[in-house]
């Protein structure tokens, strides 16, 4: 099936590189600012598209379209809203491979991983299809004599979503299915590195019958982000990205009176206790360290080996890492490239620094035989041993396929390491001791925890979010916290006149 994106959201240019658009009020809107960015195919290094960067005025156009669509959408019955959501789900199921191909072409992750990302996003659509149940309020009869009370939750209005490059479909889908099902209208600002998935999704919504203006996309950079952060018509911001930007989004958005959830970066540790199944731990260290080339906020980047198992564990991981095939995600590879040349250079630079600072490079991905044509942005799986907590490979979020082994003597040292870290997104423990695992989940200061599960991303009906510098704001993504974020509560106290209640009483209302 051909991509619907080819028909409307791109226009050919003279140089043969297609130009993407924005999506405003139900149709493609060509960029008018005159500023564009390059979109590259990370496996070949080729520039494949130009993406327009919205001006402040173009952002306001998108917000105005969303604002105009809000009253009609808010007043559309829940059953009509969820009928459209079901249709969106069916269309996405039928066309998921098309979206996965688009993700691989701009992000670089292998096709099976891109398909997995779409599936995890689809789970949130399915959760949001249950919105009639999720929005049910409470009711109390006769709270006072002849007085009833009930609660409802209502949509906020126009909501802004700003997403990172590493999940072009799934991260926006953590938010917009719930926001839309709850009656809000959306302006999404995707990452300028991977803009096509959002435009593809916009066209799918149109096909599903979503009214014009309910879902809008503005492409761009800081100008577009600041437009959303400062517009009084945008009532909330859902942001996912690096910690410094998340902090900025939270501070600026809340200063402008908005509700903000800003999910930031991560440095996730996996602890391997001496009693663990070391083959399972080695398999999972590979999956969690090198899946999506380490460009996941839930990737394991620090492996904490407790006691005398470290040599055996490092050998097992090294053997597996050497067997991985890195190359073009459209071929039968295990791992694709990094997203940009800058990311490739940054990650290699961290490995150089680690080596200089005294870490042992057990498996070196800086050079390799990569299965791709052209000048792709590759770094192969890299395993560092004897990593110290003062080395930059340990202190910084690398966001690449680099697994650092830190050796400690005791369980307590491992927990202290994690709790001293400024991030608190995800962590895992590998052990066969239920008591140790139970103590770990109780003591560790991290939002999402896996027990013999390396990437503990919660299902859509739970909420996703970290602690400390991994999340600013107090509401996590999707699940019931997502429903709460995209709605405001109201409590209604009702009395229907009865002749027996006649008469004045200026006292404070009490239960009588």
C-alpha 159/C-alpha 172 separation (Å) is 12
Q: C-beta of 391: minimal distance to ligand NAD in Å?
A: 19
Count of CB atoms situated within 10 Å of the CB of 65: 24
C-alpha 198/C-alpha 217 separation (Å) is 7
* Separation of CA 315 from chain center: 33
Residue 129 annotated among the catalytic residues of the structure: no
Give contact residues for ligand NAD (rule: CB under 6 A). Answer: 162-167, 171, 189, 191-192, 221-222, 225, 240-242, 245, 263-266, 297, 397, 399, 425, 466, 470
C-alpha 406/C-alpha 459 separation (Å) is 30
C-alpha 166/C-alpha 500 separation (Å) is 65
106 vs 385, which CB is nearer to ligand NAD? 106
- The Cα-based distances of 168 to 14, 296, 414 in angstroms read 28, 12, 34
∠ CA 49-51-56, nearest 5°, is 175
Please give the residue whose beta carbon sits closest to ligand NAD in the complex: 241
122 vs 166, which CB is nearer to ligand NAD? 166
Task: Spell out the alpha helix ranges (H) of 291-340.
Answer: 310-322
* Separation of CA 54 from chain center: 22
The CB-based long-range contact list for 498-505 (8 Å cut-off, 24+ gap) reads 498/146, 501/146
67 vs 476, which CB is nearer to ligand NAD? 476
Q: C-beta of 245: minimal distance to ligand NAD in Å?
A: 4
Report which DSSP code applies to 229. Answer: H
Query: Which residues are CB-contacts of 133 (< 8 A; sequence separation ≥ 6)?
Result: none
Burial class (CB in 10 A: 0-12, 13-18, 19+), 265: buried
Q: C-beta of 227: minimal distance to ligand NAD in Å?
A: 10
183 vs 454, which CB is nearer to ligand NAD? 454
Q: C-beta of 264: minimal distance to ligand NAD in Å?
A: 6
129 vs 403, which CB is nearer to ligand NAD? 403
Q: C-beta of 132: minimal distance to ligand NAD in Å?
A: 28
Q: Residue 431 corresponds to which tokens in the numbers above? A: 């052990």
Q: C-beta of 457: minimal distance to ligand NAD in Å?
A: 9
Q: Residue 492 corresponds to which tokens in the numbers above? A: 């209604």
340 vs 452, which CB is nearer to ligand NAD? 340
CA atoms within 13 A on the CB side of 227: 22
Catalytic residue, candidates 102, 186, 225, 297: 297
328 vs 397, which CB is nearer to ligand NAD? 397
Q: Strands 147-155, 139-144: parallel, antiparallel or unpaired by DSSP?
A: antiparallel
Q: C-beta of 219: minimal distance to ligand NAD in Å?
A: 9
Helix (H) or strand (E) holding 150: strand 147-155
Cite the active site residues.
Answer: 297
């Amino acid at each position: 099936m051909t991509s619907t994106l080819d028909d409307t959201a791109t226009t050919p240019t003279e140089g043969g590189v297609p130009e993407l658009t924005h999506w405003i009020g139900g149709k493609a809107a060509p960029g008018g600012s005159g500023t564009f960015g390059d979109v590259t195919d990370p496996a070949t290094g080729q520039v494949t598209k130009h993406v327009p960067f919205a001006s402040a005025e173009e952002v306001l156009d998108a917000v105005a379209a969303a604002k105009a669509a809000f009253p009609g959408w808010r007043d559309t019955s829940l059953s009509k809203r969820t009928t459209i959501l079901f249709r969106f789900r069916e269309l996405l199921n039928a066309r998921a491979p098309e979206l996965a191909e688009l993700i691989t072409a701009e992000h670089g992750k292998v096709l099976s991983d891109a398909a997995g990302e779409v599936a995890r996003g689809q789970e949130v659509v399915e959760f949001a299809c249950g919105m009639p149940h999720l929005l049910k309020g409470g009711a109390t009869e006769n709270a006072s004599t002849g007085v009833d009370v009930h609660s409802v939750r209502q949509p906020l209005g126009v909501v802004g979503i700003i997403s990172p490059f590493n999940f072009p479909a799934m991260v926006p889908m953590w938010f917009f299915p719930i926001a839309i099902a709850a009656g809000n209208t959306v302006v999404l600002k995707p990452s300028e590195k991977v803009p096509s998935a959002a435009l593809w999704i916009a066209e799918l919504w149109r096909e599903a019958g979503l009214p014009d203006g309910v879902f809008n996309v503005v492409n761009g950079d800081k100008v577009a982000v600041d437009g959303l952060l400062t517009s009084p018509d945008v009532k909330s911001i859902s942001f996912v990205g690096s910690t410094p930007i998340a902090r900025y989004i939270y501070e600026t958005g809340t200063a402008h009176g908005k509700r903000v959830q800003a999910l930031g970066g991560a440095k996730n540790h996996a602890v391997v206790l001496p009693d663990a199944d070391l083959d399972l731990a080695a398999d999972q260290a590979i999956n969690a360290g090198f899946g999506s080339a380490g460009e996941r906020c839930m990737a394991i980047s620090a492996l904490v080996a407790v006691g005398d198992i470290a040599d055996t564990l490092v050998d097992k991981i090294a053997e597996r890492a050497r067997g991985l095939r890195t190359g073009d995600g459209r071929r039968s590879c295990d791992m694709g490239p990094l997203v940009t040349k800058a990311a490739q250079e940054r990650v290699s630079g961290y490995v150089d620094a680690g080596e200089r600072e005294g870490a042992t490079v057990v498996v070196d991905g800086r050079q390799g035989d990569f299965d791709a044509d052209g000048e792709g942005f590759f770094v192969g799986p890299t395993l560092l041993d004897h990593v110290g907590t003062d080395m930059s490979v340990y202190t910084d979020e690398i966001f690449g396929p680099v697994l650092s082994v830190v050796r400690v003597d005791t369980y307590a040292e491992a927990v202290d390491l994690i709790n001293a870290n400024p991030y608190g997104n995800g962590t895992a423990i590998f052990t066969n001791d239920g008591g140790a695992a139970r103590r770990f989940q109780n003591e560790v200061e991290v939002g999402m925890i896996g027990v013999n599960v390396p990437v503990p991303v919660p299902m859509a009906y739970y909420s996703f979010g970290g602690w400390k510098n991994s999340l600013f704001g107090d509401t996590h993504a999707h699940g019931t916290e997502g429903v709460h974020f995209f709605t405001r509560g109201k409590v209604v106290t009702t009395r229907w006149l009865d002749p027996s209640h006649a008469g004045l009483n200026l006292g404070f209302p009490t239960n009588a």
